[in-house]
Amino acid sequence: MERAGKQGAMPRAFLVWLAGTRVSLLGGAALFFGLGWAASEHGGRTAALVLTAVTLPRTVLLLVGGALGDRLGPRRVMVVGDAVMLAATLALAVASHRLGTPAWLLVAAAAVVGAVDAFYLPAAGAMPRLLVGREQLPRALAMTQAGTQAAQLLGAPLGAVLVAAAGVTAVALADAASFALVLVVLLCVRPAFDVARAAGEGGVLGEAVEGVRLAAGDRLLRSALLLTMAAAGVLLPVVSLLTPLLVRERGWGAGAAGLVAGAEALGMIAVSLAVSRWGPLRRTGTGAALGLVVAAAGTAGMAGAPVAGAAVACGVVAGAGAGAFAAHIAPLVMGATPDTHLSRIQAVLGLVQSLALVIAHNALGALADAVGAAAATGVSAGAGLLAGLAGLAAGPLRAARSGGGVPRTTPGSGREANVVAPRRP
């Protein structure tokens, strides 16, 4: 299939932003491990409460965070979020050094992380649009995805080393250092492209609702978000839920579970790096759907793998498919989004994934208890295959092109809204 192709070197401002924010993600992943480890000392209920304290405020406030990002600008929201997290992690380091890790401190810290994420994540998702031109956006998003996967892959081991050395205090200090770094980066890096901001006439809640209305009313966005929701429900539980259950059922040991999870991450990183180097398929909607089909095939192979080595190989295939899906769906969604709604659509994108994950985790967990982990993994693979085939058949996704398509207009206006103009000196 035809590729969109390379479009020159990436702007230095984007590369500096990318490096700084991925270091911050590495610190965040380490902190998340540290909080979970400390919470496990208090028992399962406390550990679950800490995880819920992250997820609940993030989910509830996500649409509001997206609306503020469009009103104030993604960079400004990120600067405030980093400053808040710098203060919060330093406070956690001091408190854990003096008090240890009582449950209330862990829950409070997790709630702060979740609340800040609700505002920070939509803004961070919109920032590449302000730093690179439209023709380079798919490659930039693929680089961002590869960096995110690498940070998540390394975050837990780093957190384990820091916790073993000096407990939650060390993890909090390391995360504070990462927030300090990215705060300096954000203050130094200036967006190279101007985009229109939300008018701010209907209030933050009204603007949040308008973002949902746009996502539901636009045929291409609606199709892409539905496919993303389906992918989140069948792909994300494979690593977090089904792989550990499958490995236990087969009696392969914890080491095998780690190898399979690592293989999936490496497959995703490899494809993301390839897309960042050579660009995505020009038919981005078709590329995303094909990626989902490949991921489903890898997941099916894992379900039927007779030995751990075969499951690891299938994990690479599943990760490569997931990487291809993400590398094509991300620029498709951003390219279809009006400039005035960048952060809000990113918020909707995060929300549909969170909702799908909550439903899928519970459904697949219950199914695994009833019929076994291998059967549940097979069901997940079958659902992913059906979703991919539906994506290949969807007219709006088949018609989507990288760097092309019908220009979008800002709701309520007659002007083209996703043409990003270079910032004047």
Output the tens digit of pLDDT for each of the chain's 425 residues: 555 545 578 899 999 999 999 999 999 989 988 998 888 788 878 887 887 888 889 889 999 999 999 999 999 999 999 999 999 999 999 999 999 999 999 999 999 999 999 999 999 999 999 999 888 889 999 999 999 989 988 887 888 889 888 899 999 999 999 999 999 999 999 888 766 666 556 688 889 999 999 999 999 999 999 999 999 999 888 887 888 889 889 999 877 887 888 899 899 999 999 998 888 998 999 999 999 999 999 999 999 999 999 999 999 999 999 999 999 999 999 989 998 899 999 999 999 988 888 888 888 889 999 999 999 999 999 999 999 999 999 999 999 887 544 444 444 433 333 333 333 33
Nearest of 24, 14, 269 to residue 142 by alpha carbon = 269
Query: Measured between alpha carbons, how far is 44 from 52 in angstroms, rounded to an integer?
Result: 12
Domain 1-193, what fold? Growth Hormone; Chain: A; (1.20.1250)
Enter the pTM of the model. Answer: 0.82
Compute φ and ψ for 193, nearest 5 degrees.
-130, 140
The amino acid sitting at 366 is A
Query: Tokens 């020009």 correspond to what residue?
Result: 282
Whether 10 contacts 140, CB under 8 Å: yes
Q: Which helix (H) or strand (E) holds 287?
A: helix 284-304
Specify the 3-state DSSP secondary structure of 44: helix
Compute φ and ψ for 421, nearest 5 degrees.
-95, 140
Specify the 3-state DSSP secondary structure of 193: strand
Query: Measured between alpha carbons, how far is 33 from 256 in angstroms, rounded to an integer?
Result: 20
Q: Which helix (H) or strand (E) holds 319?
A: helix 308-335
Q: Which whole-number Å values give the CA distances from 34 to 92, 115, 120, 257, 403, in the listed order?
A: 12, 18, 21, 20, 42
What are the residue ranges of CATH 1.20.1250.20 in the chain? 1-193, 204-405
Domain 204-405, what fold? Growth Hormone; Chain: A; (1.20.1250)
